[in-house]
Amino acid sequence: MSASKVYFTNFRATFTENLLQKLARLVKNAGMLEQIDFKNQYTAIKIHFGEPGNLAYLRPNYSKVIVDLIKEQGGKVFLTDCNTLYVGGRKNALDHLDSAYTNGYNPFTTGCHLLISRHLLVSCHLVHLHLL
């Protein structure tokens, strides 16, 4: 098996490029948009919406960058996360959506719908975003 390419950028912004623009450039340079045919395809972006009161999650404006890039390629994109086994704000689908909304995730901030599911019963591409 060949070694994976890892793309990295720092969190420095400039007067000509903010962090959201850097993310878009990183995704384009990584070749994701050329390697996957998104046209008319359901595309799930698996993301951690965060527990209420916690800060260890990717902010919605970053996910919107990826959503917009996939939509530009004709993809039918949505964000998804799975419920947790432990008791908390993500223990069932309704509480999970409330947690997502509390943390700023909604169709208006992300540009797409949110689906909470244990199993997705559709054929789709999966893009996994996570905070390192």
**pLDDT (tens digit, 9 = 90+) per residue, 90-104?**
767 788 888 899 999
* Single pTM value for the model: 0.82
Higher-scoring residue by pLDDT: 58, 6:
58
Based on its alpha-carbon atoms, the radius of gyration of the chain, rounded to whole angstroms, reads: 15
Pairwise CA distance, residues 80 & 120, whole Å: 9
Q: Is the CB of residue 52 less than 8 Å from the CB of residue 103?
A: yes
Pick left, alpha or beta for residue 74 (phi over 0 → left; psi -120 to 50 → alpha; otherwise beta): left
**Measured distance CA(33)–CA(86) in Å, rounded:** 36
pLDDT digits (tens, 9 = 90+) for 58-98: 999 999 999 999 999 999 999 998 877 677 667 677 888 88
> What pLDDT, on the 0 to 100 scale, is given for residue 11?
84
Give dist(CA 99, CA 90) in Å, integer.
7
Would you state the pLDDT for residue 62? 95
